[in-house]
């Protein structure tokens, strides 16, 4: 009888010898004492055995294999050793029979407590398994993460902090809805999802309750605020009436001595609490000149001068300082910058140049100083002081074109200065003499062709003479 021919295997070029055949004496490449790692004949045999399973058992085998694989995210898939308890959680009566069939086909390896795929080569060599893994890979990755989270949650004694929330729970719930009748949805995973949903619903209830409580508190707070506002408004109105009456009484007391103060008090009372009586009082002072006091100097004030644009006022006095004021709003003047303290002793006279850029100041220190007041809040000295007088300088006056400055002094003289360039002012000619006494003031005519000066005949010390000086007037052409 001819020897039996070797049976070819579908996936191998090398024929596999049948037991008892002609090639039985040929040594096998696999040790007899242990099963081969993964011979090609075993794969074909395993596939045939899988085909013999019923549709229900094949569906169960798919669920088993999907649990035995760890899907790689950016890496290759690998096999996974699974505890039998996890497979028992499938709650299917045919689980053990399917495991036995897969073990006999050498597709899985069964130990006492674990199950795993026999060899990782099966993940690439078996098209059906590869198809199972790739037909819904995103869903399987969701199931894999969900299974790991459920396992960790159960291992940590169902710690609420490990439950799913937000978008993670929404994704897992959506996947579970699609696989409601699937064997992949184990009891542990279902418990984990239900616990996550319960916690989310509880958190939602708490949030809604908190919002409701906050809404009630907001309504109560708003009501309390309205009541408090009304009460405060009533109390403020009563206070304003009392203060307005008090101010009105004070205005009536000082009206005979200080009309300006009385008018300001009446205006303050009217702004605080308008009334027909106060309105009538204000109308009665409409044509009355009202004064506004500027405080800042510490002694007698001798000189005041307005800038040509009437926005700046300069003041000076015996405290040796020059002060600038913003009088754009004459009812509310305000100080500009710091006091100018370059003079030594009293300052008698101030004058602005026609263009408003220069302020001339004359004083007891026998000199005239020119200030750059282009920016009144930051005045600066124009060049050196003007020296020439031998005694107090009483007055300064600019010509109409602003190019000449006239100064008068207690030394009986007048002097003219070229101030076309105030930073480099120079004297013009010699001192003008002719007065027999102190020259108190001098001023230019509107066209600048005539300079008028006034002087005293009897010599006296300013502010201390007991005699009445007799004035004299001269005009120089």
Distance CA 41, CA 43 (A): 5
Beta strands in 373-425 (DSSP E): 380-381, 386-387, 393-398, 404-409, 414-418
Q: Give residue 271's pLDDT band: very low, low, confident or very high (50, 70, 90).
A: confident
Q: Coil, strand or helix: which one is 433?
A: coil
329: left (phi over 0), alpha (psi -120 to 50) or beta: beta
Residue that wins the pLDDT comparison between 432 and 93: 432
> What is the pLDDT at residue 237?
84
Find out if CATH 3.40.50.300 is the number for domain 301-476: no
Residue 284: CB atoms within 10 A of its CB come to 12
**Per-residue pLDDT for 7 more than 80?**
no
- Start-to-end Cα distance in the chain: 164
Predicted TM-score of the model (pTM): 0.45
CA distance 391 to 408: 10
For residues 41-70, average pLDDT? 71
pLDDT at 14 (0 to 100):
37
On whether the CB atoms of residues 86 and 121 are closer than 8 A, the answer is no
Whether pLDDT at 38 is above 70: no
Res. 3: pLDDT tops 70: no
d(CA 68, CA 44): 20
Residues 6+ apart with CB under 8 A from 309: 356
H or E segment to which residue 326 belongs = strand 322-326
Predicted confidence at residue 409, as pLDDT, reads: 93
Extended beta strands in 254-294, E state: none
Give the span between the Cα atoms of 241 and 142, in whole angstroms: 76
pLDDT score for 22: 39
3-state class (DSSP) for residue 20: coil
Please give the pLDDT value at position 41.
43
Domains of the chain: which residue ranges? 29-155, 156-291, 301-476
CA-based Rg of the chain, rounded to a whole angstrom? Answer: 56
CB of 34 closer than 8 Å to CB of 28? no
pLDDT at 294: 85
Tens digits of residue pLDDT in 374-421: 999 999 999 899 999 999 999 999 999 999 999 999 999 999 999 999
User: In the chain, pLDDT over 70 holds for what percent of residues?
Assistant: 82
Cα–Cα distance for residue pair 218/223, rounded to 1 Å: 8
Under 8 Å CB-to-CB from 102, ≥6 apart: which residues? 46, 49, 50, 61, 64, 108
Whether the pLDDT of residue 361 is over 90: the answer is yes
**What residues contact 151, with CB distance under 8 A and at least 6 apart?**
188
In DSSP terms, which residues pair with 363 in a beta bridge? 347
Please classify residue 412 by burial: count the beta carbons closer than 10 Å to its beta carbon, then call 0-12 exposed, 13-18 middle and 19+ buried. buried
């Amino acid at each position: 009888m001819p020897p039996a021919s070797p049976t070819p295997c579908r996936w191998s070029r090398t024929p596999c010898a049948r037991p008892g055949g002609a090639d039985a004496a040929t040594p096998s490449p696999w040790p007899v004492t242990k099963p081969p790692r993964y011979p090609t004949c075993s794969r074909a045999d395993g596939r045939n055995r899988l085909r013999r399973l019923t549709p229900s058992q094949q569906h169960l085998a798919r669920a088993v294999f999907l649990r035995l694989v760890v899907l790689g995210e950016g890496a290759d898939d690998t096999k996974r050793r699974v505890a039998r308890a996890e497979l028992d959680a499938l709650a299917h009566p045919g689980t053990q029979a399917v495991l036995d069939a897969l073990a006999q086909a050498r597709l899985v390896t069964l130990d006492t407590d674990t199950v795993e795929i026999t060899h990782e080569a099966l993940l690439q060599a078996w098209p059906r398994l590869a198809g199972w893994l790739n037909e819904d890979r995103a869903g399987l990755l969701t199931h894999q993460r969900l299974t790991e989270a459920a396992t960790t949650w159960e291992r940590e004694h169902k710690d609420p902090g490990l439950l799913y929330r937000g978008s993670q729970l929404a994704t897992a719930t959506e996947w579970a809805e699609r696989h409601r009748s699937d064997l992949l949805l184990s009891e542990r995973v279902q418990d984990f999802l239900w616990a996550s949903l319960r916690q989310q619903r509880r958190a939602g209830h708490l949030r809604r309750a908190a919002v409701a409580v906050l809404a009630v508190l907001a309504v109560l707070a708003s009501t309390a605020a309205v009541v408090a506002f009304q009460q405060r408004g009533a109390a403020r109105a009563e206070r304003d009436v009392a203060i307005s009456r008090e101010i009105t009484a004070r205005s009536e007391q000082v009206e005979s001595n200080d009309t300006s103060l009385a008018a300001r008090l009446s205006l303050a009372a009217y702004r605080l609490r308008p009334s027909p009586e106060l309105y009538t009082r204000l109308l009665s002072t409409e044509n009355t000149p009202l004064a506004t006091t500027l405080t800042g100097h510490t002694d007698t004030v001798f000189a005041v001068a307005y800038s040509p644009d009437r926005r700046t006022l300069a003041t000076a006095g015996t405290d040796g300082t020059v002060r600038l004021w913003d009088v754009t709003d004459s009812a509310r003047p305000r100080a500009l910058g710091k006091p100018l303290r370059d003079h030594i002793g009293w300052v008698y006279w101030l004058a602005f140049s026609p263009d408003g850029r220069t302020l001339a100041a004359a004083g007891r220190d026998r000199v005239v100083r020119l200030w750059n007041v282009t920016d009144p809040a930051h005045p600066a000295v124009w060049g050196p002081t003007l020296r020439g007088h031998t005694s107090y300088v009483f007055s300064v006056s600019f010509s109409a074109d602003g190019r000449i400055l006239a100064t008068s002094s207690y030394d009986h003289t007048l002097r003219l200065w070229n101030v076309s360039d105030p930073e480099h002012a120079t004297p013009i000619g010699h001192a003008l003499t002719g007065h027999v006494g102190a020259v108190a003031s001098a001023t230019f005519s509107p066209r600048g062709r005539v300079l008028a000066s006034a002087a005293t005949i009897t010599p006296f010390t300013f502010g201390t003479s007991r005699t009445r000086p007799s004035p004299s007037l001269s005009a120089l052409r």
